[in-house]
Amino acid sequence: MESTITSSKYTEVQGFLNANQFTWLVTGSAGFIGSNLVEGLLKLNQKVVGLDNFSTGKSENLDSIKESVSSDQWERFSFVEGDVRNLEACKSAMENADYVLHQAALGSVPRSIDNPILSHDNNVNGQLNMLVAAKELKVKKFVYASSSSVFGDHPELPKVENLIGEQLSPYAVTKYVNELYAKVFSKCYGINVIGLRYFNVFGKRQDPNSVYAAVMPKWIKALMDGEKVAIYGDGKTSRDFCYIENVIQMNILAALTDNPEADNQVYNCACHDRTDLNTLFGYIRDGLSEHLPHIKDVEPVYQDFRAGDIRHSFANIEKAKSLLEYEPTHFLNDGLQNSLDWYRTNLANT
């Protein structure tokens, strides 16, 4: 099921890319978001360099890209196995790049609480290396992944970019530091940098098997495997779930914007749509039960709230609409249906 909503600016930009080839560096290219960005760019006939150290990314994701694009498009992709914590690896991968989409990071609030040093090393030192490389190699635009976790405990809903509170986890701190470094590099060195605060991104290739798996793939796999689904807290915690196609759109719009006011900013990357976890569980269960009728009456189990979790996450996206001409094309229901179809096909035999 595909959404019928279109973004006129994005359609215009896609046409421009189909007619003009650039070189893009995507870090974290074997991961969930990175692999989808690579696929989206290759389908627009761009030249793409991927950089990944496979700490959380998977070679199977690159294989999946190869199957989904034409042979000519695949020939435009080159892969570098390397680590963003190594400055020379960053410079080597970035050579000749016009645009950088920096996605490489260690995600997950719980993982950062378990190992804050590792999260800092990957997320902060890794981005600092990438910014230094971008400065030296003079790329046109540096777009990087930030996070809604930066908002911390600020009570304002919906979340507006310039109103943040105290960060609640080491992961949130690393993403806030990323934003500070980006701002300083734009001021000190004149590079064009844009940050995207991702709000609960979901879609194909999101790993359900990690101990730190995101809620949606984790629940889908549990229901398919006949296992219990755990909800932390009372299930009234809410999130702004953002389908991967919206993230691809926003990265490309950010990289190619010709609006000088849009550069050197941070934007919410979301849908301005709010769903609580109880409702999400019902959507997933009902969507899967069409093919797995034995799960139609399954109920979740409730556990204690997790440390570091934000209670409600709901984005104001007016800044992105105004300055980037972003318009989400996929909302929760269309994206969820696409995701369920993908997981049923790809997890059935795992």
Model pLDDT, residue 2 = 54
Does residue 291 lie in a domain region? no
Q: Does residue 346 lie within any of the structural domains?
A: no
Condensed to tens digits (0 to 9), the pLDDT of residues 111-133 reads: 999 999 999 999 999 999 999 99
Nearest residue to 265 (alpha-carbon basis) of 188, 146, 183: 183
Residue 296 within any structural domain of the chain: no
Picking from 40-44, 106-110, 175-179, 242-246, which range would have the lowest pLDDT averaged per residue?
106-110
| Three-state DSSP state, 233 | coil
Distant-in-sequence contacts of 280-285, Cβ < 8 A, 24+ apart = 280/215, 280/216, 280/219, 280/239, 280/241, 280/332, 281/219, 281/229, 281/231, 281/235, 283/332, 283/333, 283/336, 284/216, 284/219, 284/220, 284/223, 284/336, 284/340, 285/223
Average pLDDT, the chain: 94
- Expressed as residue numbers, the domain containing 15 is 8-199+243-272+315-329
pLDDT band at residue 3 under the 50/70/90 scheme: low
Q: Which class for 279: exposed (0-12), middle (13-18), buried (19 or more C-beta within 10 A)?
A: middle
Distance from C-alpha of 267 to C-alpha of 182, rounded to nearest angstrom? 13
In this prediction the pTM is 0.94
Q: Does 47 fall in a domain? A: yes
Mean pLDDT, rounded, for 96-124? 95
Q: Is residue 58 part of a domain?
A: yes
pLDDT category, 65, cuts 50, 70, 90?
Answer: very high
Q: Is residue 289 part of a domain?
A: no
Answer yes or no: is 279 within a domain: no
| CATH code where residue 44 lies | 3.40.50.720
Q: Which of 81-85, 143-147, 333-337 has the lowest mean pLDDT?
A: 333-337
99 assigned to active site: no
Tell me: pLDDT of 339 over 70.
yes
Q: Which of 171, 198, 267, 326 is an active site residue?
A: 171
d(Cα 7, Cα 2) in Å, to the nearest integer?
A: 14
Quote the number of domains for the chain.
1
Residue 167 resides in a domain: yes
